Structure 1
Amino acid sequence: MAFCNKLSRFVRRQSENASMIGSLRSFSADATHHRFHQETHNFLEPEYYIGSWEAPSDPKDAERKLAQLRRDYAKKVRVYRKEYIHEIEMLRVEKQRKDEARLLAERAANEERRLLKAEAAKVRAEERKIADEEFRQTLL
């Protein structure tokens, strides 16, 4: 009995150490992924309107140019937002498709398990029936 207790404590300690190592390993993997992303990230090209402002002498001309810059910026932001919304929608659809496939596979596995369980119950019932019949024969 004492040996079993020592063995169970040893196994428990080993599993705790393994889980701690696993958590450190996952942290390390996350840090590596982050560093890889930082090294390989491609930034957008700088926009033409950044640093392009030259103060005109006429205030009306300045207002007109500033309004044009704002319109151009708003158009670009609108395009980026549309692209982002499209990407997010595609990710959502893909996730939904994967979830549905996973659920379908789970349902099929559950149905298979249910059928196997029913067959096993039928076999056990037949065995019980045969054993009862043999018992009755021995009593007679």
Structure 2
Amino acid sequence: MMLLYRGHFFFCRSKKHPNESHTWPSFFLSTMAATRRLLRSQLPKSPLLNPLRSLSTSSPTPTSHRNPNRPDHHFLPPNNFLNSWTPPSDPKEAAAKLAQLRREYAKKVKEMRKEYIHEVELLRLEKQRKDEAKREATRIANEARKAEKAAAKKAMAAEREIAEEEFRKTLLKERAEKLEYWRMREKQVAEKKKDKNELLRRKSSMWIDQPELEKKILEAIVDTSPL
């Protein structure tokens, strides 16, 4: 079987022989690897590739990703223990020096832990102070809001009481006016009735009784004087 790869022809077997120890995929992979090495060795070295290779293999320049919302962070200076060990020739001296360095390191770590604990305590106290101030501000705001609500309720109650008092006065006034009107009407009716009775009484004084009616008729016939 003939295989074309990058302009080169390669002959390979299509079936596995009983005495062969390699299979077709492994043979194909080994053939491709050999071809790749051969092509790399035959390629001319171009001077234009060197700058690109140097740029691709050079370490990238560290870029600082700054957040505009945060201030620049200030790092601590490097520790004095870095690259400070010089191995002496005497093993005992080296052991003593190493023990001294360990003691100094433990001492500095202890001091740094104390500073860290102190800073954490300060942060905790600051947070506690802020929380207490926030709670106090919330309490004052709630009390002010409750006082405003109580004052508003009191003002509404006073206005409602004034409105009820005005309504009660208006109702009493209307009732008094109606009562006065009805009294006047009763008085007028009583006066009219009295006048009517008086007129009726005056007219009734001129009436003639039944026994004297014939006598009065006879007198009226004989004497034409008015009654």
Taking structure 1 as the reference length, the TM-score comes to 0.65
5 Å matches for 1:65-80?
Answer: 65-80=97-112
Bigger RCO of structures 1 and 2 (CA < 8 A, at least 6 apart): 1
Greater helix proportion: 1
Matching of residue 133 in structure 1 with residue 165 in structure 2: yes
5 Å matches for 1:1-140?
Answer: 31-34=67-70, 36-38=71-73, 41-47=74-80, 49-139=81-171, 140=175
% identical equivalent positions: 56
Corresponding residue pairs, total: 107
Where does the alignment leave 5 or more consecutive residues of structure 2 unmatched?
A: 1-65, 176-227
Residues of 1 paired with 2:127 and 2:151: CA distance? Answer: 36
Q: Which runs of 4+ in 1 moved over 4 A?
A: none
Residues of 2 paired with 1:123 and 1:66: CA distance? Answer: 83
Q: CA RMSD in A?
A: 2.1
Taking structure 2 as the reference length, the TM-score comes to 0.42
Distance apart, 1:66 and its partner CA = 1.2
Q: Could you tell me which amino acid in structure 1 is paired with residue 101 of structure 2?
A: L
Distance apart, 1:133 and its partner CA = 2.3
Distance apart, 1:120 and its partner CA = 1.2
103 and 119 in structure 1: CA distance in 2 versus 1, 3 angstrom threshold: same
Residues of 1 paired with 2:151 and 2:130: CA distance? Answer: 31
Q: Could you tell me which amino acid in structure 2 is paired with residue 58 of structure 1?
A: D
- Secondary structure of 1:87 counterpart: helix
Q: Deviations over 1:62-107 (max 9, x none)?
A: 2221111111111111111111111121121122112212222221
Distance apart, 1:123 and its partner CA = 1.1
Distance apart, 1:33 and its partner CA = 4.4
Residues of 1 paired with 2:75 and 2:67: CA distance? Answer: 19
